[in-house]
Amino acid sequence: MKRKLKTELDREMVISQIKRLDLSKNYTIDIIFRRKVRSISQNSLYWLWLTCIEFETGNDRDNLHEYFKKRWLEPIDIKVFCEQFTKWSTKELNTIQFKYYLDHIQVFAATELSITLPDPESQYWDEFYQFYVDRL
């Protein structure tokens, strides 16, 4: 049995199910904390930054996306129809992992490309955002 706990009713139902288990049998119960996957705001920031790098360097943002994934993410091995291949993906990163990924890109842009990618809290954010948002 697998169940997500979102409400008090969900919790009560799980407790009820556990109480009905036959104690003469062996069970393992796993409770797993699920960290929220990356936020929409992180994803929006990421693509805005890629748009900036695209504009400043002439490299396509989809190609930049592939480049950065291969540079800083762990490869994922996949098997389809008995064929093994490797992919890199940001899709399953949680918010903390995605922040580290963004940090790498921000440092790379500053040190290797001399491009400043401001955070939304930066004093330069509004100007940056207004310049690149229409280019998305």
Q: Has residue 45 been placed in a domain?
A: yes
Q: For the segment 40-89, what is each residue's pLDDT rounded down to a tens digit? A: 699 999 999 999 999 999 999 999 999 999 999 999 898 999 899 899 99
pTM: 0.70
Q: Has residue 129 been placed in a domain?
A: yes
- Cα-based torsion angle of the residue sequence 91, 96, 99, 104 in order, rounded to the nearest 10 degrees: -90
Q: What is the per-residue pLDDT for 107? A: 98
Residue 134 has pLDDT above 90, yes or no: no
Amino acid at 1: M
Q: What is the mean pLDDT of the chain?
A: 90
Q: What is the per-residue pLDDT for 30? A: 82
Give the closest residue to 72 by CA, choosing from 120, 106, 115, 110. 106
Q: How many CA atoms lie within 13 A of 134 on its CB side?
A: 3
Q: Has residue 16 been placed in a domain?
A: no
Percentage of the residues of the chain whose pLDDT score is greater than 70: 94
Q: Has residue 73 been placed in a domain?
A: yes
What's the rounded Cα separation, in Å, for the pair 62 and 59?
Answer: 9
Q: Has residue 104 been placed in a domain?
A: yes
Q: What is the per-residue pLDDT for 69? A: 97
Q: What is the per-residue pLDDT for 14? A: 87
Q: How many structural domains are present in the chain?
A: 1
Q: Has residue 99 been placed in a domain?
A: yes
Secondary-structure breakdown of the chain: helix, strand, coil percentages, each rounded to the nearest 5: 50, 10, 40
Q: What is the per-residue pLDDT for 6? A: 80
